[in-house]
Amino acid sequence: MGEERSEDPNRLETGLTCTKGWMELRPRGKLPEKRSHHSSIVYQNFLYVFGGEDSREGKYGNLWRLNLDEFIEIESKADEDLGREDGKDSEEEETQSPTRDEKLHWRLIETKGKQPGKLSHHQTQIIGDKMYLFGGMKNDASNNKSLYSLDMSTFEWKIIEPAGGKKPEGRDDHTMVSSDGNLYVFGGFVEGKRMNDLYSYDIQANTWE
């Protein structure tokens, strides 16, 4: 590929994947329930999906993981196969393609601690070895007001109690990003009211501003 690999363990090396555009993956085994308004992050080349909702089944509070290293291996194998299959008719190629992703499996991760429960319309971000979650809508349509952290090595949830009294109101459909060890929360809806405020959370100082 000729590209220098990133030293950031949380960053997916996109230069090694999707070289030919979109491709459909068909993981084997049990799959996550269909959902919308969930969150997804990449940590150490694993894709994590948390929460979300289905219009019939309601909200979810589970965590699923997909090994993206297996995806990279699949596409590399597909590239090799394509090179060997030049000149073969399309029917032969079609019969071989489904076998390329047999190693790809979703895994349901068991978590512990003070869990956020079933949520949708929330946001998550990775800083260091922790995933942070803020906001979201509960089953009773109320907003989650707490900031949670999930240790990605032990999969233990904790509620973060910030120092001082200033913190954003619980909300849904907001934006949250991370930069230089801080979380930034913008906008969203508080009990149906559209917001236009910006908060930052300093992880080291454990304070909102």
Please report, to the nearest 10 degrees, the dihedral formed by the alpha carbons of residues 54, 57, 61, 65 taken in order. -60
Beta-carbon neighbour count of residue 84 at 10 Å?
8
Q: Position 57: which residue type? A: E
Query: What does the alpha-carbon distance between residue 103 and residue 85 come to, in Å, rounded to a whole number?
Result: 21
Is the residue at 3 inside a domain? no
Q: What is the pTM of this model?
A: 0.79
Is the residue at 78 inside a domain? yes
pLDDT tens digits, one per residue of 119-154 = 999 999 999 999 999 999 999 999 999 999 999 999
The residue segments making up the domain with residue 94 are 29-208
pLDDT band (50, 70, 90) for residue 83: low
- Assigned token pair, 199: 């908060």
182, 202 in Cβ contact below 8 A? yes
pLDDT tens digits, one per residue of 163-183 = 987 899 999 999 999 999 999
Is the residue at 23 inside a domain? no
* Residue range 60-66: mean pLDDT, rounded: 97
pLDDT tens digits, one per residue of 99-118 = 356 678 899 999 999 999 99
Is the residue at 139 inside a domain? yes
What's the structural domain count of the chain?
1
Beta-carbon neighbour count of residue 188 at 10 Å?
26
Which residues have a Cβ under 8 Å from the Cβ of 166 and sit 6 or more positions away?
Answer: 207, 208, 209
**Exposure of 71 by Cβ count < 10 A (0-12 exposed, 13-18 middle, 19+ buried)?**
buried
Would the pLDDT of 47 be above 90?
yes
Q: Could you tell me which residue, 73 or 54, shows the higher pLDDT?
A: 54
Q: Which residues in 51-105 belong to E strands, given as ranges?
A: 53-54, 58-59, 63-67
pLDDT computed for residue 101 by the predictor: 60
pLDDT computed for residue 52 by the predictor: 98
Query: What does the alpha-carbon distance between residue 83 and residue 164 come to, in Å, rounded to a whole number?
Result: 61
Which residues have a Cβ under 8 Å from the Cβ of 128 and sit 6 or more positions away?
Answer: none
Q: Position 78: which residue type? A: A
The CATH number given to whatever domain includes residue 66 is 2.120.10.80
Q: Position 105: which residue type? A: H
